Structure 1
Amino acid sequence: MFAYCADPKSLEGLSWLSCYLTTGTHLSFYASFLTVLVLLAVTAPIALGFGFGGAMAARSGAAPLRWLGKGYMAMVRGVPDIVFFLFFVIALDQGIEWLIHQARCPGWTDPIRNGLEFRVCPQAKMPPNSAPQIVHQIYGFALAVVTFALVFGAFAANVLSGAMKAVPRAQIETAESYGMTPRQVFRRILVPQMWIYALPGLSNLWLVLIKATPLLFLLGVQDIVYWARELGGSKTSTYAYPHPDWRLWYFLGLLVFYLLMTALSERLLARLERRLSRGQATASGEAQRREGGQTA
């Protein structure tokens, strides 16, 4: 990074540290923080979409849809996250390759499964072996996003289903008495009202999602945990920047990062809860009405 970093062995003190912290591997470490933030930004709305779909399916009058929604919530919530992550990523990857194999290699005669091995034709490999490394990384990241969204979508579905049931029945009946159709009642009354009841559960789910991002390391994505372990481990004199075991300090940095993320999230969620509580028949909404009356 700097001109004086050409010969690391001649460096000492702050010069050595400045060169050490700006190596290519450290730049990858800093970029991995962006990977975590992108995962959160992409996964959260997708998981919420899965959750809303699952909650709607669980409330459906059609028995197959209702069974599907309730089965999705029960199955995913009943399996430990780490087990589901490790299983589903492999299953999804092999499922995609199997479908491509059937389309591109209809004349393939060798068995796809040979004992514990899974073999498809070269044209069905995803991504192709000749693809650039960035394509492999994006593909692995996409699999991780789908897996995270499915897992946390099941929990979101349970939260949203409970929030829909918490909306006062009197409001639904009042809307129906005004001649609203079931679709209008759902869109104008039920959905706007349910968010204040769902927010506490969704807030907890968001914080759990933040804490679950280190599982990217288990899914083969080079995240902050991967780089903290790699960079913090003991480096001998064969390395350009030898140092003792510094994993304690690297993981301490991750601890601070996650605490800051949690603190910022709690502040934003508190503001969102206050905004959604306006005019609602909840304790928070009543407190705001009293506060407004005293101010007036």
Structure 2
Amino acid sequence: MFDCTEPQNLQELAWLACYLTSGKHILFYQSFGVVLLLLAITAPVALAFGFAGATAARSHIPPLRWFGKGYTSIVRGVPDIAFFMFFVIALDQFFEYIRHRVKCPDWEAPIRQGSDFIVCTQAKLPLSSAPQWQHETYGFTLAVLTFAIVFGAFAANVLFGAMRSVPRPQIETAEAYGFTRRQTFWRILVPQMWIYALPGLSNLWMILIKATPLLFLLGVEDIVYWARELGATKQARFSDYPHGDWRLYYFAALLLFYLGLTRVSEVVLARLTRRLSHGQATAAGERQRKAPT
């Protein structure tokens, strides 16, 4: 529609259209997808970590029980930002250390040299010659693992409490009918615990949404990075589209995005709560039974 090769000669509407469709803005729009992809992957992975942690915490095997309780206590006791900054570096160095031992067995120099961590070139992740998408995918994968481990610890605590909230007479009835411990767990406890866990998991989901700007701290070019980059003052000699400080507008767009995302989440979670409450011995279940048909 518009010829954007010479932005300085464009009128206001054409200038704005070319500005909003520039290469950096396309990356800005794609970064919204990065945030949604992070949520879509992290939520089930964190829930799996939480379920494993809660199951371990209630295990009758002492080492497994200690591991489950230690996981939730340690991760929940460390500030999120500190854990994110530490764990990404530690995980990256751990992977490179394993690769270094496999690919460079004849390496004699120490890996730790003062504050430097030095491995052979072949052990670097990703390789310096790798395409850009591999670097971005690797950084995103580390971010997903970090988010999943942190929020998995909180989910483990929620699920552990939900398991304890299932009425004990139901467990005793299953045992009286000859159910094994495994059968009681999977057929009685797990199906009924979700209604008790959903309020806590709903809060965790909202917190996870609000925590996505921490991607910027993990080296991922997310929406916060691009909002700050594009909204900052641009001078004519450094940019084809010079403008003043527009960060207010960019961050206002982020505000609307997060408010819209949380609103959609509230609607979905409310419907899920009503569905899970059907037939349950809870206040919501009682209201459904007493509601006129």
Q: What interval of TM-score do these two structures reach, taking the shorter chain for normalisation? A: over 0.9
2:232 is matched with which residue? 233
Q: CA deviation at 1:3?
A: 4.6
Take 2:109 and 2:141, find their aligned partners in 1: how far apart are those partners?
A: 30
Q: CA deviation at 1:4?
A: 1.2
- Indicate the RMSD between aligned Cα atoms, in angstroms: 0.6
Q: What do the CA deviations read for 1:130-149 (whole angstroms, capped 9, x no partner)? A: 00010000000000000000
1:252 partner letter: A
Take 1:67 and 1:180, find their aligned partners in 2: how far apart are those partners?
A: 27
After TM superposition, the structure 1 = structure 2 runs for residues 189-268 of structure 1, keeping only pairs within 5 Å, are 189-238=188-237, 239-268=239-268
After TM superposition, the structure 1 = structure 2 runs for residues 90-129 of structure 1, keeping only pairs within 5 Å, are 90-129=89-128
Q: What do the CA deviations read for 1:99-118 (whole angstroms, capped 9, x no partner)? A: 10011111111111111111
2:133 is matched with which residue? 134
Take 1:46 and 1:69, find their aligned partners in 2: how far apart are those partners?
A: 16
Take 2:151 and 2:33, find their aligned partners in 1: how far apart are those partners?
A: 21
Paired residues of 2:162 and 2:193 also in contact (CA < 8 A)? yes
Paired residues of 2:56 and 2:64 also in contact (CA < 8 A)? yes
Give unpaired runs (5+ residues) of structure 1: none
Give unpaired runs (5+ residues) of structure 2: none
When the two structures are superposed, what TM-score results if normalisation uses the length of structure 1? 0.98
Give the secondary-structure state (helix, strand or coil) at the position aligned to 1:200.
helix
Take 2:246 and 2:114, find their aligned partners in 1: how far apart are those partners?
A: 43
In the alignment, structure 1 residue 89 sits paired with structure 2 residue 91: no
1:150 is matched with which residue? 149
Take 2:285 and 2:42, find their aligned partners in 1: how far apart are those partners?
A: 30
How many pairs does the alignment contain?
A: 292
1:267 partner letter: V
Take 2:287 and 2:2, find their aligned partners in 1: how far apart are those partners?
A: 61
Take 2:240 and 2:259, find their aligned partners in 1: how far apart are those partners?
A: 33
Q: What do the CA deviations read for 1:60-107 (whole angstroms, capped 9, x no partner)? A: 111100000000000000000000000000000000000100111111
Q: What do the CA deviations read for 1:21-73 (whole angstroms, capped 9, x no partner)? A: 00000000000000000000000000000000000000011110000000000
Q: Indicate the larger mover: 13-22 or 2-11.
A: 2-11
1:165 partner letter: R
Take 1:214 and 1:21, find their aligned partners in 2: how far apart are those partners?
A: 22
1:71 partner letter: G
2:242 partner letter: P
After TM superposition, the structure 1 = structure 2 runs for residues 150-169 of structure 1, keeping only pairs within 5 Å, are 150-169=149-168
Paired residues of 2:2 and 2:18 also in contact (CA < 8 A)? no
Q: What do the CA deviations read for 1:166-222 (whole angstroms, capped 9, x no partner)? A: 000011111111111111111110000100000000000000000000000000000
Take 1:3 and 1:276, find their aligned partners in 2: how far apart are those partners?
A: 53
Give the secondary-structure state (helix, strand or coil) at the position aligned to 1:88.
helix
Paired residues of 2:50 and 2:155 also in contact (CA < 8 A)? yes
1:71 is matched with which residue? 70
1:184 is matched with which residue? 183
1:194 partner letter: M
2:273 is matched with which residue? 273
Take 1:201 and 1:216, find their aligned partners in 2: how far apart are those partners?
A: 23
After TM superposition, the structure 1 = structure 2 runs for residues 38-53 of structure 1, keeping only pairs within 5 Å, are 38-53=37-52
Take 2:40 and 2:284, find their aligned partners in 1: how far apart are those partners?
A: 28
Q: Indicate the larger mover: 108-117 or 193-202.
A: 108-117
Q: Indicate the larger mover: 256-265 or 110-119.
A: 110-119
1:30 is matched with which residue? 29
Take 2:194 and 2:135, find their aligned partners in 1: how far apart are those partners?
A: 38
When the two structures are superposed, what TM-score results if normalisation uses the length of structure 2? 0.99
1:59 is matched with which residue? 58
